[in-house]
Amino acid sequence: MAAMPRRLLWLPLGLAAAVLLAGCGGSKKYSLEKTRACLAKQHGLTVLKSTDFVASTALGGALTAKFPHNQVTISFGLDSDEAERLATAYRRFRGRNIGIEDILRPDHNAVLLWQAHPSSDDESTIHGCLK
C-alpha cells in the first residue's frame, strides 16, 4: 500500500516533462527575409509583396510566390498564436464557394494560402524554403 502514494508523486512530474517535450517543436519561427531569399535565389520564383487584406495584417510581413500554374501567399506572424489568428481570418473572409481547408496551411508562425490545391513539388519547394 505504501507504493501507491509514491506513484502518485511521480505522476505530476511525468506530466510536466511530457508538456515540456511537446512544447519544444512549437517555438520554431520562420522569417520573411530568409524565405523570400530562398524562393527567389534558389528556385527562381517571382516573389512579390502580398496585397491581400488578411496578409497585410501579419505583423511579420507577407509575400506571394508565383509558380507556373499556382501561387501561394505566406503570411508571417510573430508566433504560432498570431498565425492561428491569421488562419481564422482567412476562414472568416473566404468566399462561400471556396473550400478553404484544401488550400490553407498554418505552419508554426506562418500561414500558407494557395490559389489552388498545390502539387507535391510546389509544397516541397515552399517547405524547403521556410526558414
pLDDT in tens, 3-22: 555 554 444 444 444 433 44
For the whole model, what pTM was predicted? 0.79
Q: Nearest 5 degrees, angle CA 48-CA 52-CA 54?
A: 125
**Domain parsing of the chain, residue ranges:** 28-129
Structural contact between residues 114 and 72, judged by C-beta atoms closer than 8 angstroms: yes
Cα torsion 51, 28, 128, 131: sign? positive
pLDDT in tens, 54-89: 999 999 999 999 999 999 999 999 999 999 999 999
